[in-house]
Amino acid sequence: MKILHSRPTEDGFYMPAEFAEHEGCIMIFPHRRDSWQYGAYAARKAFVQVAEVIACSEKLTVCARYEDYDSARAMLPDHVRVIEMESDDAWARDVAPTFVINGKTIRGIDWGFNAWGGLHDGLYFPWDKDNKMARKLCDLLEADTYDQRDFILEGGSIHTDGEGTLLTTEACLLSKGRNPDFSKEEIEQRLKDCLGVKKIIWLPSGIYQDETNEHVDNICAFTAPAEVVLAWTDDENDPQYALSKSCLAVLERATDAKGRKLTVHKLPLPKPVTMTAEECEGLDWMDGQPTRIPNERLAASYVNFYISNRHVVCPQFGDDNDGKAIAILQALFPTRTVIGIEAREILIGGGNIHCITQQIPRRDLSCQQSM
Amino acid sequence: MKILHSRPTEDGFYMPAEFAEHEGCIMIFPHRRDSWQYGAYAARKAFVQVAEVIACSEKLTVCARYEDYDSARAMLPDHVRVIEMESDDAWARDVAPTFVINGKTIRGIDWGFNAWGGLHDGLYFPWDKDNKMARKLCDLLEADTYDQRDFILEGGSIHTDGEGTLLTTEACLLSKGRNPDFSKEEIEQRLKDCLGVKKIIWLPSGIYQDETNEHVDNICAFTAPAEVVLAWTDDENDPQYALSKSCLAVLERATDAKGRKLTVHKLPLPKPVTMTAEECEGLDWMDGQPTRIPNERLAASYVNFYISNRHVVCPQFGDDNDGKAIAILQALFPTRTVIGIEAREILIGGGNIHCITQQIPRRDLSCQQSM
C-alpha cells in the first residue's frame, strides 16, 4: 500500500454513488459498553442481522477486536470475513476509508477522525484506534491510501450522486470541533479535490438531537441521480419540523452538477423514540456522567438505510410509519428488495444502519460523471 | 470461512512441497522483549531484509500487533501488506496455518500450538494469542480451516516433498510436551490424515540445543523430490556430530513414498555461535530467570532457509562456511538465486529464516503426488 499525498481528483479518481455497484462492504463488531446497552450483546445481534442481508450480495468484511474475534466468528455467517482490528467504537461509515475509483483502480481516503468534534464536542476520548482504521483497511484491501488526516471528515457527513454532486450539512461540516481553521470555501475546495465533485449542496441541518452535529446521512440521501429522500414530519410542534423544512427549501431550489433540478421524496419520520430507564441503566457512565438519560430523544430516521447490490437495508422502530417507509423506498429502488431490520439497539448507540456500514465500490465502474 | 472437522486427506487435499510454487507468504513483525535483544529494533531490520527478498516474487502479508502497525508499515516495502493481528511472538512457521490444496482450492490446518511444549517445557506462557492466529489467518485469506487444535504441531517440525513423503524428528514429535497421549503410530496416522502423505521418515534428532525440541527444519530439508540437505559437522568432538550422524544413518537407508532412495547433500554448520554478555543484557528476564546466558550456544544452521518463488533466503553467521553453504544451495536450486542474510539477530530469538516464514502454496498446482 502506498501512502499518497496528492489529491484524488487531480489523479482522476472520484467517489461513486452508494447506489452504484459495490465490490464489498465493511462493518465493525460492536463492543463499547458506554455506547451499547448491557455489554453490546443485543447490539451484536442487530449488527449480525444487517450483516446477513448485506452479505447476500456483497463481500463483507467485519472488523473485530482481538477479544471479540471468537464471538464475531461464531455469530456471523461463514461467507463473511472476520478480521482482527482494534477500534474505539463500531461506526464503519465514519472511520473506514472513503473509497474512490478511476474505472480501473480503487483507492481509499484516510480522513482525520476525532470522534465527531474532538476536544470541543467529541463523543469520546481517546479516538486513536478509530483514527488508525482507514489506513489499515486500505492496507488489508491492497488499496493505496490518500493521507487526508489533516482534514476531519466522517463518511456519514457526505453523500454523492457519482455524477459530480455532493450533499452535506452546514451544521456538521462547519462545526467548531472539526476544521475550525478552514473557511466554508476551503472546505468546499477540499471536497472537490478529494471526491471528484463539482457542486456541493449545503443543507443547513440534520436530525434533531443527532450527536454527530447532524450528519447528512440521517436526514437526506440520493436514491438516484437528481432524486433524494428527505426525512420529514408534518408535526409543526416537533423541533424537527423546522430543520426538515429548511432542508426542503434548499433542495427545492437546488440544481445538481449537471444542472438538473432535484426530485425530493419525503420519507416520514417515526414518532419520537426515547430512551427507557432500563436501557440507561445498561450503559456505562463516561467521565462522571451518564451517556444517556431516561426519556432522552434519539435521532431516529428511516433515511439511515444502506444500499447493497441487491437490497436496501432500512431501520425499523416498531412505529406506524415502518411499513410506509419501506413502501416508499421500495418504489424508489425497483431493482432491489427493501429489507426492514428492527434497529432500536443500533439507534441507542447514536446512529443507524448506514452509520455502521461502508461500501467498497466496484473499481471498474464506468466513469459516470462528466468530468 | 468454514471451520471443518473432517480430515484434509479424505477431502482430497495435501501439503505441497515448499519448493513448489507459492501464492504468497506470511510473516510476523517481532516485538517480544525476552526473545529479541534491546526491544527487537535490530531484529525488525533483519526481518525486513528477509521480507524484502521474499516480496520480490511472492505476495507477502506481515502480521503486526496494534502498537507495531505504524512501525511495520514504515519499515516494510509498499508492496508488502501489513495487517493487524495480536501475537505472542513472531514465529510464523509454527503459528500460521499449514496450507493444503487439491489443485483448485486452498485450505489451512489450524493445529494446536503450546509454545513448543506447553506447561512441560514450553518457552513462554501464555501462548493464547499465537494459538489463535492460524484460524484468523485462514479467515483473512478466505480459506476454510481444518480444526486440528486437539493435536499439537508446529510447521517447523515437518517438511514434505509434495509427493507423499514427510520428514520429521522423533525428538520433537514424540516429546512429552506435545501429544503425550498419542502413540507414535497415532501421530503417524494424524500426519497421514492431514497432509496427504503416505511415508514418514523419522529422524532421531535435530540441532544441538534447539529449544523447539529439535525441529526438523533446522537440520534437514527437501530441496527436490528424493533430495535433501542435512546440517553437518566433521568435528567429532562437537555434540552435534552424533546427532547429525544418527540422522544421516536414517536418511541413507530410507526410501520415500515412491520407493526412491534419497540423495543426501551435507550442508556444513557454522562454528558454534554463542551469546555475548551484552546481548544477554538486552533481553528481558522471564519468570525470575534470564532467557539467555553468556556463552550459551545457539542452534545456528544454514538449513533454516526459506524457498521463495525466485530465491532461496539463507541465514549467514559471519562464518567461514557462509559462502560454502550458499554455493551448495545454489547448485541445488539452479532456477532460483540464493541470497544470504546476516541472521544473528533472528538466531538470538531461537530460530531462523525458515521459522519466521510460512508459505502459501499455489492452489492450482497440479496434484504432484500419486495418491
Rounded Cα distance, B300 and B353, in Å: 11
How much is the pLDDT for B368? 54
- The pLDDT tens digits for B168-198 are 999 999 999 999 999 999 999 999 999 999 9
Q: Which of residues 305-364 of A touch B (CB under 8 A)?
A: none
pLDDT band at A367 (very low <50, low <70, confident <90, very high): low
Q: Look at residue B177 in the predicted model and tell me its pLDDT.
A: 98
Question: For the stretch A204-235, what's the b/e string if a residue is b when 16 or more beta carbons lie within 10 angstroms of its beta carbon?
Answer: bbbbbebbbbbbbbbbbbbbebbbbbbbbbee
Q: State the pLDDT at residue B65.
A: 98
pLDDT at res. B371:
46
Checking if the pLDDT of B37 tops 70, the result is yes
Gap from A2 CA to chain B (nearest CA, Å): 5
In this prediction, residue A366 carries a pLDDT of 76
> Distance, in angstroms, between B40 CA and closest chain A CA?
23
Please check the confidence at residue A201 and state whether its pLDDT lies above 60.
yes
For A312, half-sphere exposure in the C-beta direction (CA atoms, 13 angstrom radius) is 26
Residue A238 Cα, gap to closest chain B Cα (Å):
46
Q: CA B264 to CA B253: how far, in whole Å?
A: 11
Cis peptide before A239 (omega within 30 of 0): no
- Nearest-CB residue to A78 (from B2, B82, B83): B2
Q: Which residues pair with A82 in a beta bridge?
A: A62
pLDDT tens across B100-158, in order? 999 999 999 999 999 999 999 999 999 999 999 999 999 999 999 999 999 999 999 99
Query: Which of B2, B66, B129 has its CB closest to that of A86?
Result: B66
B residues 100-139 closer than 8 Å to A (CB) = 129, 132, 135-136, 139
ipTM of the complex: 0.93
What pLDDT sits at residue B366?
A: 76
Chain A positions touching B78 (Cβ under 8 A) are: 1-2
CB–CB of A136 and B83 under 8 A?
A: yes
Looking at beta carbons, which residues of chain B come within 8 Å of A83?
A: 83-84, 136, 139-140
The catalytic residue positions of B are: 355
Residue from B76, B136, B137, B142 whose CB has the most chain A CBs within 10 Å, to mutate: B136
Is the per-residue pLDDT at A150 higher than 90? yes
Report which residue type is found at A283: L
**Residue-wise DSSP of B31-61:** --TTTSGGGGHHHHHHHHHHHHHHTTTSEEE
Per residue in A213-242, pLDDT tens?
A: 999 999 999 999 999 999 999 999 999 999
Q: Is it the case that residue A370 has pLDDT exceeding 50?
A: no
Closest A-chain CA to B2: A78
The average pLDDT across B35-49 equals 98
Within 10 angstroms of residue B322's Cβ, the number of other Cβ atoms is: 18
Taking CA–CA distances from B59, the nearest residue in chain A reads A142
pLDDT in tens, A43-72: 999 999 999 999 999 999 999 999 999 999
User: What pLDDT sits at residue B370?
Assistant: 43
With beta carbons under 8 A apart, name residues in chain A contacting B69: 132, 136
Inter-chain touch A140–B81, beta carbons under 8 Å: yes
- Percent of the residues in chain B that have a pLDDT greater than 90, as a whole number: 98
Burial zone of B335 (CB within 10 Å; 0-12 exposed, 13-18 middle, 19+ buried): exposed
Across the interface, whether the CB atoms of A84 and B84 are under 8 A apart is answered yes
Q: Which residues of B60-96 are buried (b: 16+ CB within 10 A; e: fewer)?
A: bbbbbbbebbebbbebbeeebbbbbbbbbbbbbbbbb
pTM, two decimals, is: 0.96
Distance of residue A313 Cα from the nearest chain B Cα, in angstroms: 24
Asked if A69 lies within 8 A of B2 by C-beta distance, the reply is no
Of B2, B78, B140, the CB nearest to A83: B140
User: Is residue A17 left, alpha or beta, with left meaning phi > 0 and alpha meaning psi from -120 to 50?
Assistant: beta
* pLDDT single digits (tens) A321-349: 999 999 999 999 999 999 999 999 999 99
* Partner residue opposite B1 with nearest CB, options A66, A78, A139: A78
Edge-to-edge, what's the strand order for the sheet holding B227-232? B220-224, B227-232, B263-268
Q: Which chain B residue lies closest to A69 (C-alpha atoms)?
A: B136
Structure confidence by residue, pLDDT tens digits, B237-266: 999 999 999 999 999 999 999 999 999 999
Q: Is the pLDDT of residue A272 over 70?
A: yes
Measured between beta carbons, the chain B residues lying within 8 angstroms of A85 are 84
Residue B258 DSSP class: T
Lowest-confidence region among B270-274, B299-303, B312-316, B362-366: B362-366
Determine contact: B269 vs chain A, CB below 8 A.
no
Which residues of chain A neighbour B70 with C-beta distances below 8 Å? Answer: 132
Contact map slice: B 78-97 vs A, CB within 8 A = 78, 81-86
Of A81, A86, A142, the CB nearest to B84: A86
Q: Determine the longest span between alpha carbons in chain B, in angstroms.
A: 53
The one catalytic residue among A63, A138, A194, A355:
A355
Q: Which of B2, B73, B135 shows the shortest C-beta gap to A139? A: B73
B137, B59, B148: which is closest to B362 by C-alpha?
A: B59
